[in-house]
Structure formats: C-alpha cells, structure tokens
C-alpha cells in the first residue's frame, strides 16, 4: 500500500494510480482542470440547449434529480434563472435525515413541482441486504434508483431534458475535455463501473421478482432515443465551484449541519442520509481510507492545507466508524449488529489489514502513531 506523495489517497482506492513520481491521477489532473475551456462558449451552448427544450416541450422543460443537498439547490436556482419549468425528482432514501427533509422542502418552495419517489421498503430492504452481503456496499441499489428513476420519468412524461449536477468522474479523475459529451443515458452507470457490472435482472431470485425491480430498471436505449431525452451534467457547461454552489444554495435557504460534519470534513455534504456513512465505512475495510481522506485530498489540491496538516487531521479525528448509523441500518435491514460484524469481517481486505496480537491494523498506515483497537 502506497500513498500519493501530494495528497493522502492510497493506491488501494479504486481509481487511484500513482505515476513514477508517486503522484495520483487526481492530483495530476487537478492542475489541468478547467484549463483551455472557453466557459463563455459553453454557456452559449447551454442556453441553446435550454431554448431548444422550451420549444420542444409539452409541459416541463426539464427534470432535475435532487437529493436536497447544496448542489441540487444550486442546480434548481440556475435552471430557474434560465426560465425553465422544472420537475424535481428524488429517490427517497430510507435513511433520510430531518435536515435532508428540511432542505428538500426548502428546494420545492423555490418554485418547482416535485416527485418524492418512495420504493416499497420491503423490496428495498431485501435488495440492500443482498447488495451489502454480495458487494460490501449498499451502493448498487442506491445508484440504480438514483439514475433510473429520473430517466424513466423523463421518458414517460416526455420531458426533453434531465439536468444532473457535477459529473462524479471529474472530482477524482478525468480531465475536463475528455468527457464533454458524457451524457448520462441508460448505459452510463455500466460504462463507469458504478453498478459493478450488474443489472436489475441479476438480482432476481425467489425473494425478489423482476417486477419488484421496476424502480431500479433503466428505460431501454430505444425508448430513451425515441423520447428525444437529453440527459447531461450542468458541470460540463458551467464552472463547478463547491464554495460558490454552497454560497448560492445558502442564500436560497439551504441549511448546513450546525452540529458539524456527519462524516469527513464538511458540514454541508453527506448530510441527507443516515446510510451514506456506512457505504463509506466499508471503504475503510476494503481500501484503508475513509471519506475524510477524499475530502482532505481535495483541500490539499486546492491549496487550502498542506499534506502534513491533513495527516494531523486524520490523527486528531481518530476512528471514523459510524456506530449510530450502522445501528440505524441494521434496524432497517432487520439484522443484528453481530451479523453486520460478520459481513464487515468478510470484506476486510487482508492485503491491506494484518492482525497483530489479536488487533487488526494497517501496516505502513499514513499516521504512524495511530491507535489501533
């Protein structure tokens, strides 16, 4: 296990490859981000797409998939400024927090119609449990629902646009121009490995029928094309600055978490769902890094802290195991904490972790004097 010499990410984390100088791709690409992009020209293209949608539509101009976070609030504000009629669509996470609900309510009051799409909790529980046992993550059902539901609704209601936020592949990897035409159509999740090469049919068994899997199922490429839906990332057309989107969202009623961050570094991120932290917790077992590492890598790349300060922060924060959220997830899945521990054990990566005197530890961990317990 080796760490990037500029940030704090280990090469065990998927997507992190170190070059001959020991620098990760995310750090290399960061310096080039946004360079050579004519944002005025992009803005004109965006306006043309919006005008075309207004001409074509029969009702809503666009669907905006929203969680209630600062970025969804920013997306809604930007599209309202362009005079679009918006249908906001949410996959309702079973772990929604009170703050997540309040921010969604606020977003709807900005002047949009909203579908809060709730999946039968029985189906969701079965699927999430199977995914957790098989992949060590509840990410597959979560991502399938997040991507499929808005696209299905766009096709069904003949809405010409689906406007996503930032392309998740920008933050930790790609250079800007490579994915400019990276439209989020029915095949996008497979193309980027987000769904771990699985389709809803793969999860069908005696317990889950194909009909149960309906909310997780993408429209066919054919139906998508026939409906003439364009599905794209706003971040490919407008410069994406988290500080700016936070400022705009806050001005429009978005609330960060007063008690501080739920996990990682930011009190305005990962705040709408109790189960996100468990998803990240498994990365600790699999790759030896946490959400905090991701956040610190961004802070270093943006020149706000040094690598030494980042390592100090990891030391001070200590163990990041989200005990309360694990308890909530176990309750939702109707499994015991003991059974959850068995699943954790199955996904602890023995290439990263070694047991010494009965205690699991990561040899060569970035914080040399870490307290293993």
Site residues for Zn ion per CB under 5 A? 4, 6-7, 24, 27
**Centroid of chain to Cα 139:** 9
Q: Which is nearer to Zn ion, 4 or 265 (CB)?
A: 4
Q: How far is the CB of 31 from Zn ion (least distance, A)?
A: 11
Q: How far is the CB of 294 from Zn ion (least distance, A)?
A: 11
Q: How far is the CB of 136 from Zn ion (least distance, A)?
A: 24
Looking up tokens 């010409």 gives 160
* CA nearest neighbour of 199 among 208, 184, 189, 207: 189
Q: How far is the CB of 354 from Zn ion (least distance, A)?
A: 25
Q: How far is the CB of 17 from Zn ion (least distance, A)?
A: 10
Q: Which is nearer to Zn ion, 27 or 144 (CB)?
A: 27
Q: Is 42 helix (H, G, I), strand (E, B) or coil?
A: helix
Residues pairing with 91 in the sheet: 117
Dihedral of CA 239/241/242/248: which sign?
negative
**Which residues neighbour 346 within 8 Å (Cβ) at sequence distance 6 or greater?**
133, 136
For the record, the structure tokens of 243 come out as: 């500080």
Q: Which segments of the chain does DSSP mark as H helices, in order?
A: 25-32, 39-56, 70-81, 98-109, 121-135, 139-157, 168-171, 188-191, 221-227, 242-251, 276-287, 291-301, 307-317, 323-333, 337-347
For the record, the structure tokens of 366 come out as: 């970035």
Q: How far is the CB of 289 from Zn ion (least distance, A)?
A: 12
Q: Which is nearer to Zn ion, 29 or 231 (CB)?
A: 29
Q: How far is the CB of 8 from Zn ion (least distance, A)?
A: 8
State the DSSP code for 192.
T
**Which residues neighbour 236 within 8 Å (Cβ) at sequence distance 6 or greater?**
42, 167, 179, 180, 182
Q: Which is nearer to Zn ion, 27 or 146 (CB)?
A: 27
* CA nearest neighbour of 151 among 107, 188, 101: 188
Q: Which is nearer to Zn ion, 70 or 291 (CB)?
A: 291
Per 3-state DSSP, what percentage of the chain is helix, strand, and coil (rounded to 5)?
50, 10, 45
Q: Which is nearer to Zn ion, 153 or 314 (CB)?
A: 314
Q: Which is nearer to Zn ion, 27 or 142 (CB)?
A: 27
Put residue 193 in one of left, alpha, beta given phi > 0 → left and psi -120 to 50 → alpha: left
Q: Which is nearer to Zn ion, 172 or 232 (CB)?
A: 172
Q: How far is the CB of 292 from Zn ion (least distance, A)?
A: 15
Q: How far is the CB of 155 from Zn ion (least distance, A)?
A: 40
Q: How far is the CB of 291 from Zn ion (least distance, A)?
A: 16
Looking up tokens 């899997």 gives 213
Q: Which is nearer to Zn ion, 6 or 103 (CB)?
A: 6
Q: Which is nearer to Zn ion, 7 or 142 (CB)?
A: 7
CA angle 122, 273, 126 (to 5 degrees): 20
Phi and psi at 16, nearest 5°, equal -100, 110
């Amino acid at each position: 296990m080796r760490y990037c010499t500029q940030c704090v990410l280990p090469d065990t984390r998927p997507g992190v490859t170190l070059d001959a100088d020991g620098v990760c791709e995310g750090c290399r690409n960061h310096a080039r981000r946004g360079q050579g992009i004519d944002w005025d020209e992009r803005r004109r293209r965006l306006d043309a797409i919006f005008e075309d949608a207004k001409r074509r539509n029969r009702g809503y101009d666009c669907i905006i998939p929203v969680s209630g976070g600062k970025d969804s609030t920013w997306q809604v504000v930007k599209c309202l400024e362009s005079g679009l009629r918006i249908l906001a669509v949410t996959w309702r996470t079973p772990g929604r927090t009170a703050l997540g609900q309040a921010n969604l309510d606020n977003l709807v009051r900005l002047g949009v119609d909203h579908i809060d799409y709730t999946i039968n909790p029985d189906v969701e529980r079965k699927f999430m449990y199977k995914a957790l046992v098989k992949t060590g993550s509840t990410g597959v059902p979560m991502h399938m629902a997040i991507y499929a539901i808005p696209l299905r609704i766009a096709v069904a209601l003949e809405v010409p646009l689906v406007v996503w936020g930032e392309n998740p592949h920008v933050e930790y990897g790609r250079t800007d121009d490579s994915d400019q035409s990276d439209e989020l159509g029915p095949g996008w999740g497979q193309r980027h490995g987000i769904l771990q090469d699985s389709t809803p049919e793969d999860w069908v068994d005696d317990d889950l029928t194909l009909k149960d899997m309906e909310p997780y199922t993408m429209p066919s490429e054919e139906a998508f094309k026939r409906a003439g839906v364009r599905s794209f990332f706003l971040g490919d057309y407008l410069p994406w600055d988290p500080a700016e989107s936070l400022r705009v969202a806050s001005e429009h009623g978005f609330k960060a978490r007063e008690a501080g961050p739920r996990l990682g570094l930011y009190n305005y991120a990962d705040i709408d769902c109790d189960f996100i932290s468990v998803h990240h917790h498994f990365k600790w077992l699999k790759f030896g890094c946490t959400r905090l590492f991701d956040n610190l890598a961004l802070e270093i790349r943006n020149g706000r802290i040094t690598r030494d300060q980042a390592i100090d922060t990891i030391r001070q924060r200590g163990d990041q195991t989200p005990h309360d959220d694990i308890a909530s997830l176990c309750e939702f899945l109707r499994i015991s904490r003991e059974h959850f521990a068995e699943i954790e054990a199955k996904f602890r990566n023995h290439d990263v972790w070694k047991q010494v005197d009965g205690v699991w530890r990561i040899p060569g961990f970035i914080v040399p004097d870490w307290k293993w317990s």
